[in-house]
Amino acid sequence: MKKAFLILAVIAALTAPALAQSVTTVAEQIRAEALRTSSAESGRPLPLVGHWNLGEAPNGFNPEYQMRLLEQGHHLLPWFLLPNAYAQPTDPRWQSYYEAAIKRAAQLKLPIALVGTQWEAALTFNDTYFKLPPERNPNVALANGVIKREVSPFGPIELWHEAGKQWGNGAMLQKLQEWYPDPPLVVFVSNHEHVKMEWKRAEEDFRFVEQFGRGRDDDFKRKAVGDGWIVRYRALQQGFREGLRNPKWRAHALFIAYDAFGPSHFARWPGWMEHSLYSKNRVDPWALAWDGAAPSFYLFNWSGISDFTVFSPQVEAMNWVFMLDLALRKNPNYWFELSTWDGHEPTQANDKRKFFANAKQSYTPERYAGMVQFGMWLLRPRVVREFRGYQDTVEKMEPYFLPVVAAVDRVYANAVLRDFCRKGVLVPNRSRAHPYQSIVPPEYQAIDRWYRLDTSLDPKWEWGLATQLEVFALALVKGKAPQRQWLLYAHAPMGARREVQISLPAYRAVTVNVAVGGSFYLVDEKTRRVQAIN
């Protein structure tokens, strides 16, 4: 009963303030934020909510469910399954899935997202491509003529363009363009998980050897492989765009990919570069290969990562701050999302909630929201896109999703949060370095990477990956001394903490209470007032 009452209370808290706004007003806000560039004079865009569960299985986060949330006034970027080239408009399954929701999105002039599998997979699994001769094959081709089932950054570029065009030219996708002829924005999202050749094995592909020879150093190989991916993934997207028949869809399309971003494990251990595409003066090639990315802010169930240690999504994501800044300098329209997940797979022995239970801790929706909001305010993404498996249902997973929706809606509802989200500057903590310091490239050694603020509960330095941190805190600042204001955010994953002293760099320590689900405070330098923000 207690759990059911809590869920109902959360839903009521979400719904009541949202209903004060008409769906037309909310749609206008969604559209405005989706179209706002990160370099706009009026400030950064506010976040939206998305999901990886597309509702293609029964009782999932389907378009009908999303439309209900929109009617309640929540700030979603509507998401749909990207139809493959074989889906037919005459199939009643797809008519019932798409038609009403797409037409409603068209009425409201909403931006939309179409989320799909890895678009390049046809290059491997379609025999039309896989059985091509080695010199024409888009997959890894060994010197003895054997073809491996993994795409190569050295195969023919035109085949990537052709594969993309097949996706864009699908019959069901053409029907969506008829139903919604003038969307302000269409974000095409790839899960980007197809098997790719690893840079360490570049010499396996005879075309690399023909072009560059053997014995090249690691930095050269990483750069060559990265350069190859940039050209081929852009060709894939260009073909996709050309396959779209509606000129407004072509003009308003963005192509982004899951985890196509710099490594969060940057400098965590001496071998980190082996699992990256770093090359000198380029931390990663993916920001050049895609219009945006949705990297994983995940409590992976297959690793020891947690939300209460140095080895955490909160600490790892601090590496992304400078990488995102570099991406936005090159492309002010760069579309950065944050994928979130709590590692919950109840049928698996390594389910993350079992991990916390074994540590005699409880992993609640409130705790999940605290971690997610830390990532939100650290990186201020365009979309917070939650992950669940395709068979997961709203009934089971909504209690964890609704707090994410609330975290986004809160930014729109509160003037202080809204203003800091737009114009606040993330505060680095230069009193100490990021704990990941293994083989930091010279060009990045002076860059800020540590944003967690010092607290009175911190353990003594030196920290290891397993060091427990009772409170995670960060701050955004506006103005100049002596009239600065700070937005302080803190969450306490292992349980609420009272009277915690948190140090604001170049100012002073303030004493606050920190909730599991996160606490916001406005700190005013002129008045020395510390005010809780609800």
Task: Report pLDDT digits (tens) over 294-350.
Answer: 999 999 999 999 999 999 999 999 999 999 999 999 998 999 999 999 999 999 999
Q: What is the pLDDT of residue 40?
A: 75
Report the C-alpha gap between 227 and 480 in whole angstroms: 42
Euclidean distance between CA atoms 19 and 73, whole angstroms: 6
| pTM of structure | 0.95
Average pLDDT, the chain: 95
* pLDDT for the residue numbered 118: 96
Which of 3-7, 138-142, 293-297, 314-318 has the least mean pLDDT?
3-7
For residue 10, name the pLDDT band (cuts at 50, 70, 90).
very low
> What pLDDT is attached to residue 502?
98
Band of residue 41 on the pLDDT scale cut at 50, 70, 90: confident
Query: How does pLDDT run across 456-514, given as a tens digit for each residue?
Result: 999 998 999 999 999 999 999 999 999 999 999 999 999 999 999 999 999 999 999 99
Which amino acid appears at position 222 of this protein? R
pLDDT of 6 over the 70 cut: no
| Percent of the chain whose pLDDT exceeds 70 | 96
Please tell me the distance from the alpha carbon of residue 256 to that of residue 237, in angstroms, as a whole number: 10
**What is residue 4's predicted lDDT score, i.e. its pLDDT?**
41
pLDDT higher than 70, residue 85: yes
- Contact predicate 244/173, CB 8 Å: yes
Q: Which residues pair with 38 in a beta bridge?
A: none
Separation of alpha carbons 337 and 49, rounded Å: 10
Does residue 42 register a pLDDT over 90?
A: no
Asked if 33 and 76 count as a contact pair (C-beta separation under 8 A), the reply is: no
Q: What is the mean pLDDT of residues 251-276?
A: 98
pLDDT of 59 above 80: yes
d(CA 29, CA 304): 39
Confidence of residue 7 (pLDDT cuts 50, 70, 90): very low
Instruction: Give the pLDDT score at 107.
Output: 98
Report the side by side order of strands in the sheet with 519-524. Answer: 425-426, 472-478, 485-491, 519-524, 530-533
* pLDDT score, position 201: 98
CA distance 188 to 297: 20
Per-residue pLDDT at 38? 83
Average pLDDT estimate for 448-456 = 98
Are 224 and 213 a contacting pair, CB within 8 Å? Answer: no
State how far the Cα of 134 lies from the Cα of 130, in Å rounded to an integer: 9
